Structure 1
Amino acid sequence: MTAVDEPPVTPQEPAQEQQPERPIGFGRMKRKEDPRFVRGKGRYVDDIQLPGMLHGAVLRSPFAHARILSVDTSAAEAHPRVKAVITGETLAGLGLAWMPTLSRDTQAVLATDKVRFQGQEVAFVVAEDHYAARDAIELIDVEYEPLDPVVNARHALAAEAPVIRDDLEGRTDNHVFDWEAGDSAATEEVFARADVVVEQTMLYPRVHPAPLETCGAVASMDPVDGKLTLYSTTQAPHAHRTLYAMVAGIPEHKIRVVAPDIGGGFGNKVGIYPGYVCAIVGSIVTGRPVKWMEDRSENLMSTSFARDYHMAGEIAATREGKILGVRVEVLADHGAFNSTAQPTKYPAGFFHIFTGSYDIEAAHCRVTGVYTNKAPGGVAYACSFRVTEAVYLIERLVDCLADELGADPAELRMRNLLRPEQFPYENKTGWTYDSGDYPACLRKAMDLVGYEELRKEQNERRARGELMGVGLSFFTETVGAGPRKHMDILGLGMADGCELRVHPTGKAVVRLSVQTQGQGHETTFAQIVAEELGIPPEDVDVVHGDTDRTPFGLGTYGSRSTPVSGAAAAVVARKVRDKARIIAGAMLEVAPDDLAWTKGRWSIKGDPAMSRTIQEIALAAHGSLELPDGVEGHLEATTVYNPPSMTYPFGAYVCVVDVDPGTGSVKVRRFVAVDDCGTRINPMIIEGQVHGGLADGVGMALMEIIGFDEDGNCVSGSFMDYLLPTALEVPAWELDHTVTPSPHHPFGAKGIGESATVGSPPAVVNAVLDAIGVRHADMPLTPSRVWQALQGGEVEAPQ
C-alpha cells in the first residue's frame, strides 16, 4: 500500500510517530556504566578508604645490577609515624621471599641477594599516611656492590656476560627458553627454489601499556576470622586469588579479591607485583588495612612491559610475486625474571601467526628467550600474546618484498591473500583460521581511502619535492585463548564460568569471571543476555570483579572477553531459555516440544497468541505453579565455557602520512581501518575500541619506547620522556567493517579489543618509509630518526 492509499487517521486512532525498531540486544546502545564515570562517581582502588588504614611505599634499587651487602632499617623504624618496615629477610621468615610468575619462573618479592633491574623492590614501609611512608623509605640505608649490567639481548647470550639469575641452581648463562614452530626442512626446500629472497632484521622495541591508573592494592587481613580481603588493580581476580593462596598458604576460601573500577589495564594489570604481596604482609604484620599505590615513574620503570623482540626475517617468492615461504629467528628480551603472561605450552605466545594472512607453502620460526637487567614482563599488551610482533614482522617483510620486486604493496597483498573458499584454513604452523573474506576486506579499505587517486597524488607531490607516503597492513589476529586442554597459566585452564539468574519480576543478573578495564562489559554482556532472552538490556545487571560474587575464570586479556565469556553468557542464557520452555509448557498445559521461541516468549506452535513471556515464566518459576518432574523451580543456570578453538579477527588498514624533509616530523593525515570481528554486538563500543587501538599504534610507531643507557638506567621513567600520542598527533579515523561470523562461536563473535593495535603500527611505519624512500628503519620513527634516514645515515636500533 502506498502512502496515498493509506486510510485516514480517525480521532479514535491518534497518529503515532514511526520510530525504527531497536534491536532487543545487539545494536548501537550507550554504555550503561558511563553515567557514573562522567559524573566522577567511579570507584577505583585509590578511592578505597577503610577504618584504621595505613599506607605503604616501596624502596627501589637505583642500580640495574648490584649485590646487596646490607640493609639498615633502624632510622626508618624510628620514624614516629612508621608502623612497620618489611625487608626480604622479613618475608623469608614468613616463607614469602619468592613468588611464582605466570611463566612458571620465580621472582623475588623483595630482593635479598642482589638487585637485577633498576627499580627492583628492596624494602616496604608501612606508615600512618602516604607522605610519612615516602619519607621513611629515604631513611633506609642499603649498601650495594655494583655489578656489570647487561641490557642488550644479544650481549646477554655472550659467554662473558654476567649471569643475572645466579639464584637458580646450575645457572651458567642468561638463556631462558627455545621454542620453534613450522617445518624447517620444507622451508629450506622452498627457499632453495625461490626466485627472490629478501632478508630484513627489525626490532619491535620495548613499550609500555601506560594505563591511566597505576597499579595498587588495599589489603585487609581480619585477625578474627582470618579472611583476607584485597582490593586490587587486577585484570584477573580469580587467578590472583589462587596465586595468593599458593604463595601465602592462606586457604583460597579465606581470600576475597575485589577489582573495582579499573582505569585501563592493557595487560599491565594481569600479573602479580611485589607491591600487592607487601601490602598483604603489611596488613598481617600490623593487623590493620594497608594501601599501596605506585606513582607514574614506578609504573613505567618496574611494571610489565611489552614487545622487545629482535627479529631477523626472510621471505621467499617467485619473480611474479607469489609468496612461497617465510622464516624467522627471534631473540626475545624477557628482562630479569620471566614473568611474561603466556600460555604454558607457548613461551613465545602466539608468534606462530607470523605467516600472516597469506597462502604460502612453508614457514619456520625459532624464538630464543633471554634474561637481561631490565624490568621483567612481556605482558599481553593490547595484543594477543605476541601476535602484534608477528604481524609487524610479516607486514614489513611483504613491503620489503614489494620494494625488491618493484610491485605495488596493495597488489602484492591481494595476490597472496587467503581466499574465502580456503577456510577453515590451517596455517603452516598448525593453527586453524576459522573464517574470512580477506580480499573483500582489503578492497573495501582501498575503495574507502581512494587508493588509486592517492598514488596519483603521491606522484604529483613528489614532483614538487613533497614527501607523502601510503602504507598498508593486513592482519589476522588470534584471540580467545582456549581450549583449556591446550592452554593454561600455572596449571589453570583457560575456561570461563558464567551464572545467570532471572528474578521473579523478570529482571536478570549475570555474573562473569572476566574483569572490565573500560571495555564496556556492563553494556556488552547485558546486550548478549538480552538478545538471547528477549528482554531489555536495561533489565540485565552485570556483576564482575569480586571473587566472592562471581564464578571462577582467568580474567580479561588477549581479547578473551567476548570470544570466551561472551560465549559463556550466550550459553548460560540459552540454558535459562530451555528451562523456561519447560515451565512455559506447564503454564500452557502442552508438551515443551509443542512450543516455538520468538524473541522474549514461548508460544504454542501454530497459535502465537497462546504464549508466555520470559517475565511471566520467571514469576511462575518462583510461584505456586506445579512444575514438571526434574524442574526444581526458579529461573537460573550456570556454565563453564571451554572454547573449542581460538577465533581469528582480521582487518585491512591504510595510512597516509606527510613527512617534513627539513625536520623529519611525521603527520598522519588519514587512516582507514576496515575490521572484521565477526558478529558485531555494539558498534559504538567497537568503534571506541578501534579508536583507542589506532591511537596506541600511532604512538608505538612514532614515539613510544622504554629505553636504557649502558648502565641499565631506564631513561623513560616519566611522561616527559615516554611520549604518548594526543589528539594533535592522530587524524579523524575512518572506519568500516566486514562481517564473517566465527563458525564455532555461539553467536559468531571474534573479538575486537586489540585488533587496531595489532594492525596499525606496520601501516604507519610502511607509510613513513614509503614517503622517504627507505626500505627499513626501526620504530619509533621519531623526527630525529626519520631525518637521519633521509640523510642516508644508518639509523641505530634502540636498546
Structure 2
Amino acid sequence: LEGRTDNHIYDWEAGDKAATDAAFAEAEVVVTQEMLYPRVHPAPMETCGSVAHMDPITGKLVIWTTTQAPHAHRTVYALVAGLPEHKIQVISPDIGGGFGNKVGIYPGYVCSIVGSIVTGKPVKWMEDRSENLMSTSFARDYHMTGSIAATRDGRMTAIKVDVLADHGAFNGVAQPTNYPAGFFHIFTGSYAYPVAHCNVKAVYTNKAPGGVAYACSFRITEAAYLVERMVDCLADELGMDPAELRLKNFLLPEQFPYMSPTGWEYDSGDYPRAMREAMRIAGYDELRTEQIEKRRAYDAGESNELMGIGISFFTEGVGAGPRKHMDILGLGMADGCELRVHPTGKAQLRLSVQSQGQGHETTFAQIVAQELGIPPEDIEVIHGDTDNTPFGLGTYGSRSTPVSGAAAAVVARRVKDKARLVAAAALECSADDLEWEQGRWFVKGDPDQGKTIQELAMAAHSNLELPEGVEGHLDATAVYDPPNLTYPFGAYICVVDVDAGTGVVKVRRFIAVDDCGPRINPMIVEGQIHGGLADGIGMALMEVIAFDEDGNNLGGTFMDYLLPTSMECPSWELGQTITPSPHHPQGLKGVGESATVGSPAAVVNAVCDALRIRHADMPLTPAATWRAMQGRPLRTDLAIE
C-alpha cells in the first residue's frame, strides 16, 4: 500500500439506483439481510509448481507448469523476461486439478524462471500443501447486504445489494477490465425484477490475495447465493412456500432473449419447467408432508431430529467472452482452434484451452465427430503446449465448451465446406449438386454417387485437379469470438436432517436439474455436476479459512481446512431439461461450475428451513448450527467470539 492513503481498491455499481430507491419507497414489503460468503480454497489434488529450463545454447526457455492458461502465461513471461514469445514454450501436462487456483502467475513460477535464466540449469519450484492453502488464490470473502422489495402477494418489484469485497494483500483477481467486480451484477438471478442496483466496494487486507479460484465464475457464485438466500428470506416474511414464490417470479420462456436491469442479455431459458421437474423428482409435496410429521414428533419430544427442505435456482453467464467488452489484461477472450485431417482420414484437433480433468480429449473429439462423421477415436486432441496449439486465454469460468467448443464446431464446418469442393472435383459435378449426410457428400438424387470424409481426405492430398482457388489438404483454422455469453441454469432441492442436540447436519437427498443445452457426453456432464455438488456441500457445511484475532490464518492444513468426502455426500439425483443456446453453433452452454454455483444456497436454505430461522452464515458446522438454534449466530470466518 506504499503511496496510498487508504485501502480502497474500487467502488463499482450497476443498475439504476434512483429507480430502485423509488421502487423500495413504494414497496408493501421489504426484507433486508446481511450475509457473509466466507473465504474458501480450491484445494486441488496437486499443488502449484513449475520446472523452468533456459537452454544456454538455443536461448529457448521451456517451462513445465501447473497452469490453466498456458498462452496467457507465455505472454506475461515474455513481457517480464524480455524474451520473444517464440523463444518461450509453456507446457501444461496433467496438473492435478485446477478449480481456478492455477490461472494466476505466482512468485514461485517467476523464481524458477529467473533461476534458470541466471544459472542456465533447470530449476524446480513446488509448493507444499500449507503454502498452497495459505498463500495461493482463494475465493469469496464477500460481505453482502441484500434487500428485496415486493407486494404482499409475493410479486418481487426490486432488489438492491451492497457488497464489501475483501481482496487480500493485493488485487490479484483476474476479472475482465470493464468489470472489476466480475459478473456479480447478474445478482437478479432468474427473476423478473423490473429494477435493480448493486454497489461493490473492494478493499485490501492483510490476507493472501484473491483470484478466480474455486469455480468463482467471475463472482456469479456469490451473486447466485445472495439472491437465493434473499428469496427464501422473503418467503419467510410472507409466509409463502419458497417454491411457489419462485414460480410466481420466474422469467418466462416467451421473455427471451431478456435484458436484465443490470445489463445482461439472457439468451434462452425455461425456468418453470426446470423447477417443476426438480419438484417432481423430489416428490416435493410428499416431502413437505413428511416434514410436518417430523416437526410434530420433535415438538412432542419423540424425536431429536429436524428436517429441512431447501430450494435454489440459478442462472449463470458463462463463455467469457465477447472481445468487444471482455478482456484479461488487455488480451481479448477469443479462442483459437486448428483441425487437420490426414490422408488416411484420421484427424488432429489443436485447442487453445487446457484440461484439468474436464474430459476435453473426449468431448472435443465428439464435437468434431458430430460435425464430420469421423469416429471420435480417430481424432487426437492436442492441448497444453504453446508450441503446438493456437492462442487462447485458457480454461476457467466454464468457458471451454461455450468458446473453444464453438471454435471446434466452426473449424469442423470449414473442413466440411472444403471437403464439398473436393467432392465436387472427385465426382465431376457442381458443388451445388451435392448433399451432406453424416460423414459423406453425395450427389442429390443419387446417394450411391458419393465420397466419405476419409476418401475426400485422401483425394485432397492426391493429384486430383481441384477447382481454382481451392488449396490441397483438408485442414482449417478458426478464431472464435462469441457474440454473447451463454446462460445455463438449474433447479436444486436439498433435504437435510439436523440433530437438534449436537447441530450435526446430514444431507439426506440432493436433487439437481441442470439445463446446459444439448449434452455432448452425458457421463462427463454428470461427473462435473457430481463434483460441483460435493463442492457446494463442503462450502455450506465445513469449508472456511478462518483467522484469529491477530490475523493469523488458521486453515493451513487439512486438519483445519475440512473437505467433504463420500461419507458426507448423498447419492445424487440428477435430471435435465434442454434449452439450446442460440449463441453457440451446437447450442451448447457449459456446465463446469453450475453445481458449485447453485448448491450452497440449497443446503443453507434447507438448514434454515429445518431450524425455522431466517439466516445463518456458512459454513454450518455443528457448532455454528447449534449456536444458530440458540439465537446466537457464529461469526464463521473468525476464530473469536
**TM-score (normalised: structure 1):** 0.79
In structure 1, the residue matched to 2:354 is 515
Q: Tell me how far apart the structure 1 counterparts of residues 461 and 213 of structure 2 sit (CA, whole Å).
A: 44
CA deviation after TM superposition for structure 1 residue 558, in Å: 0.1
Greater Cα shift, 456-465 or 375-384: 375-384
The one-letter amino acid of 2:185's match is: H
CA deviation string 1:136-177 (max 9, x = no partner): xxxxxxxxxxxxxxxxxxxxxxxxxxxxx11xx3x1100001
Equivalent residue for 2:476, pick from 616, 637, 642: 637
CA distance in 1, matches of 2:410, 2:206: 46
The aligned residue for residue 266 of structure 1 is: 99
Identity of aligned residues (%): 75
Report the equivalent of 1:703: 542
Q: Which moved more, 1:704-713 or 1:766-775?
A: 704-713
- The C-alpha deviation readout for 1:330-355, integer Å capped at 9, x for no partner, is 00000001010111111100001100
How does 1:597-636 map onto structure 2 within 5 Å? 597-636=436-475
- For the 8 Å contact 1:383–1:755, the answer to whether it is kept is no
* CA distance in 2 between partners of 1:226 and 1:428 (Å): 54
Q: Does 1:437 align with 2:270?
A: yes
Post-superposition CA distance 1:729-780 (Å, at most 9, x none): 0000000100000012101000000000000000000000100111101000
Tell me if 1:408 matches 2:241.
yes
Match of 1:475 in 2: 314
Determine if the alignment matches structure 1 residue 199 to structure 2 residue 32.
yes
Query: In 2, are the aligned partners of 1:341 and 1:380 still within 8 Å (CA)?
Result: no
CA RMSD of aligned residues (A): 0.7
Of 186, 211, 236, the residue aligned with 2:69 is 236
Match of 1:307 among 128, 140, 149: 140
CA displacement at 1:585 relative to structure 2:
0.2
- Structure 2 SS opposite 1:201: strand
Shift of 1:797: 4.5
Q: 1:366 aligns with which of 185, 199, 216?
A: 199
Aligned ranges for residues 141-540 of structure 1 at < 5 Å? 165-166=1-2, 169=3, 171-465=4-298, 466-540=305-379
CA distance, structure 2, for counterparts of residue 383 and residue 356 of structure 1: 16
- TM-superposed deviation, 1:187: 0.2
For 1:794 and 1:552, locate their aligned partners in 2 and report how far apart those are by CA, in whole Å.
49
Secondary structure of 2:237 counterpart:
helix
**1:362-409 CA distances to partner (integer Å, 9 max, x unpaired)?**
000000010000001231421310000000000000000000000000
AA aligned opposite 1:366? N
* Distance in 1 separating the partners of 2:235 and 2:387: 56
Q: Secondary structure at the match of 2:187?
A: helix
CA deviation map 1:710-742 (0-9, x unaligned):
222110000000000000000000001000000
In structure 2, the residue matched to 1:736 is 575
Q: Over residues 266-312 of structure 1, what are the superposed CA-to-partner deviations in whole Å (9 max), with x where a residue is unaligned? A: 00000000000000111112211011111100000000000000001
Is 1:380–1:386's contact at 8 Å kept on the other side of the alignment? no
- Counterpart among 497, 502, 508 of residue 663 in structure 1: 502
Aligned to 1:546: 385
Following the alignment from structure 1 to structure 2, what is the Cα–Cα distance between the partners of residues 496 and 183?
34
Task: Give 3-state SS (helix, strand or coil) of 1:777's partner.
Answer: coil
Post-superposition offset of 1:262: 1.6
Measure the CA separation in 2 of the matches of 1:732 and 1:421: 35
Preserved CA contact (<8 Å) 2:67 2:103: yes
Letter in 1 for 2:560: D
Deviations 1:580-639 (A, max 9, x none): 000000000001111000000000011111000000000000011011111120000001
Is the CA contact (8 Å cut-off) linking 2:42 and 2:213 kept in structure 1? no
1:768 equivalenced with 2:607 (yes/no): yes
The structural deviation recorded for 1:796 is 2.5
Q: Distance in 1 between matches of 2:632 and 2:45?
A: 37
Does the aligned pair in 1 maintain the 2:545–2:637 contact within 8 Å? no
Q: Quote the residue 2:593 is aligned against.
A: 754
SS of 1:436's equivalent in the other structure is coil
Q: Distance in 1 between matches of 2:97 and 2:401?
A: 18
Q: 1:792 maps to what in 2?
A: 631
* Alpha-carbon offset, residue 189 of structure 1: 1.0
Q: Number of residues paired by the alignment?
A: 632
Q: Distance in 2 between matches of 1:512 and 1:603?
A: 31
CA distance in 2 between partners of 1:537 and 1:461 (Å) = 52
| Unaligned residue ranges in structure 1 (runs of 5+) | 1-164
Aligned to 1:689: 528
CA contact (8 A) 2:544 2:636 kept: no
Question: CA separation in 1, counterparts of 2:556 and 2:216?
Answer: 23
Query: Is contact 1:342-1:380 (8 Å) kept?
Result: no
- Check whether the contact 1:354–1:394 (CA below 8 A) recurs between aligned residues: yes
The residue identity in structure 1 corresponding to 2:259 is E
Gaps of 5+ in 2: 299-304
Q: AA paired with 2:270?
A: D
- Do the aligned partners of 1:380 and 1:558 also contact (CA within 8 Å) in 2? no
Paired amino acid for 1:355: T
Taking structure 2 as the reference length, the TM-score comes to 0.98
Q: CA deviation at 1:198?
A: 0.2
The residue that corresponds to 2:433 in the other structure is: 594
The AA in structure 1 aligned to 2:320 is A
Aligned-partner Cα distance in 1 for 2:331–2:214: 20
